Structure 1
Amino acid sequence: MSSVDAEGLLGMGNDVWPMVHAERAALIADLGQLGDDRWETPSLCAGWTVHDVMAHLVDVALTTRIGFVVDMVAARLDFDRQNARGVRRARGASPQETFARLRQLASRTSTPPAPLDTRLVEEVVHGEDIRRPLGLTRSYPEEAVRRSLLQQAATSAKFGGAKELLTQVRFTATDADLSIGDGPEVRGTMLALLLAASGRKIALDELGGPGLRAVRQVS
């Protein structure tokens, strides 16, 4: 498998938006079939329900560069506090109200001051945060997962990525020609590697290789 320089292959242009919009549309289609009793299901995000993650995606879709800076100042530069404030702001009086907001925002292209591929990470990873606890599955386009994984490989752990981890281990995809990092190998599908790179412990049982112990220690 080929070695990949994660920072060198990140998407830099507006070509990411069709993929972002496709992921939003797919999640909206899945959530449109959800019964009223499923919205409070715990998601893969600690302390957040499915409804909360949906509210976060509404907040993410509305975020602008200036708005993000203002929010971070108000949150005293605490990223987790900023996210929590955003969920409270975006969450409607009912799941149906929040869902309606998500539908209305599906085609937006606003973004915080971050690489555009982080918008794709938000949709794919949070899509799994919602789908897995609900027993839903999606066959993600390979390019969407690849670009999300490369973005997480270049993102610091303090912002939810795996840049530091990948100086200790090497992620090798079993379903694509992709290998990232330096150290003992961790093998799995790109989606499982993406979830592990994003701190989702649920994916660890889908991975193998001599580097897995190091991943478990930081997860």
Structure 2
Amino acid sequence: MPDTTTPERLWAAAHAERAALADDLAELDEAQWTQPSLCGRWSVQEVVAHLSAAASTGRARWLVSMIGARFDADVHNARRLTEHLGSTPTETLQRFRTVVDSTTAPSGHTAAWLGEVVVHAQDVRRPLGLPGRPPVPVVTEVARFYAARDFAVNSRTAAAGLRLQADDGPFAAGAGPLVTGTTLALTMAMAGRAAFCEDLTGPGVRVLRDRCARP
């Protein structure tokens, strides 16, 4: 299993996942770009614009934006998304391709920024029926980060009091009622995506699903 634990390798994994997603998106038609994603009210195109914004916002820019939004993350995200949304899906995709190799981020939590692309890629792939999946070692690093702390998502809170056990890799965390499934499904559920609870089994699934359903 390849080592993905250093910041350099985590960034390399993020770059690979961005590139893979960009290739998937290149085949979409106009209707697919407007389809709802798994990420709140955002369409597929808006999720891609958000990914471009995330890869273009360093610490200083993030702080200025958050102050301007009065530390309302939803307002901050909406404003930055609008900046990176193209006038057409083709333009939005072109803008995303320009940041594929970016290492710009608001903080040094590299696993979180890898998680940003892993989660949002599935936010668009699942509704569109696209088969792309990141490698298990890559998702394992995101799962470990999510189980350890709340950061961009309330993942640790979602997993609290549960035993999460991957059936396709080494990830395991917590104690309590068991939830079993792929590393990707567990990661997406910790990120609040209830649709992925359908892929999980065990006595703790109901609790995790209920938590995913909360605002």
Give TM-score scaled by structure 1 length. Answer: 0.90
| Superposed counterparts of 1:176-191, under 5 Å | 176-191=169-184
Residue 169 of structure 1: how far off its partner (Å): 0.6
Contact residue 165 and residue 171 of structure 2 kept, 8 A = yes
Corresponding residue pairs, total? 209
Write out the 4+ residue segments of structure 1 that deviate beyond 4 Å after TM superposition: none
Residue 175 of structure 1: how far off its partner (Å): 0.9
The residue identity in structure 2 corresponding to 1:179 is A
Select the residue among 96, 115, 118 that pairs with 2:90.
96
SS in structure 2 at match of 1:172: strand
Q: Measure the CA separation in 1 of the matches of 2:169 and 2:191.
A: 19
Q: Measure the CA separation in 1 of the matches of 2:159 and 2:209.
A: 13
SS in structure 1 at match of 2:36: coil
Deviations 1:73-97 (A, max 9, x none): 1111112221111111111111111
- Structure 2 segments unaligned to the other structure (5+ residues): none
Deviations 1:16-72 (A, max 9, x none): 111011001100111111112211010001100000000001101101011111111
SS in structure 2 at match of 1:183: coil
Tell me the percent identity. 38
- Could you say which residue in structure 2 is the equivalent of 1:70? 64
Q: Measure the CA separation in 2 of the matches of 1:161 and 1:213.
A: 17
1:117 equivalent in alignment to 2:111: yes
- Could you say which residue in structure 2 is the equivalent of 1:216? 209
Contact residue 162 and residue 178 of structure 2 kept, 8 A = yes
Q: Measure the CA separation in 2 of the matches of 1:176 and 1:153.
A: 15
Q: Measure the CA separation in 2 of the matches of 1:86 and 1:191.
A: 27
- Could you say which residue in structure 2 is the equivalent of 1:160? 153
1:13 equivalent in alignment to 2:1: no
Residue 199 of structure 1: how far off its partner (Å): 0.2
1:135 equivalent in alignment to 2:143: no
Residue 114 of structure 1: how far off its partner (Å): 4.5
SS in structure 2 at match of 1:186: strand
Select the residue among 9, 14, 27 that pairs with 2:21.
27
1:172 equivalent in alignment to 2:165: yes
Contact residue 170 and residue 183 of structure 1 kept, 8 A = yes
* Structure of greater relative contact order (alpha carbons < 8 Å, 6+ residues apart): 1
- Could you say which residue in structure 1 is the equivalent of 2:31? 37
Contact residue 66 and residue 112 of structure 1 kept, 8 A = yes
Q: Measure the CA separation in 2 of the matches of 1:210 and 1:40.
A: 37
Contact residue 59 and residue 86 of structure 1 kept, 8 A = yes
Give TM-score scaled by structure 2 length. Answer: 0.92
Q: 1:159 to 1:107 in 2, by over 3 A?
A: closer
Select the residue among 183, 193, 200 that pairs with 1:207.
200
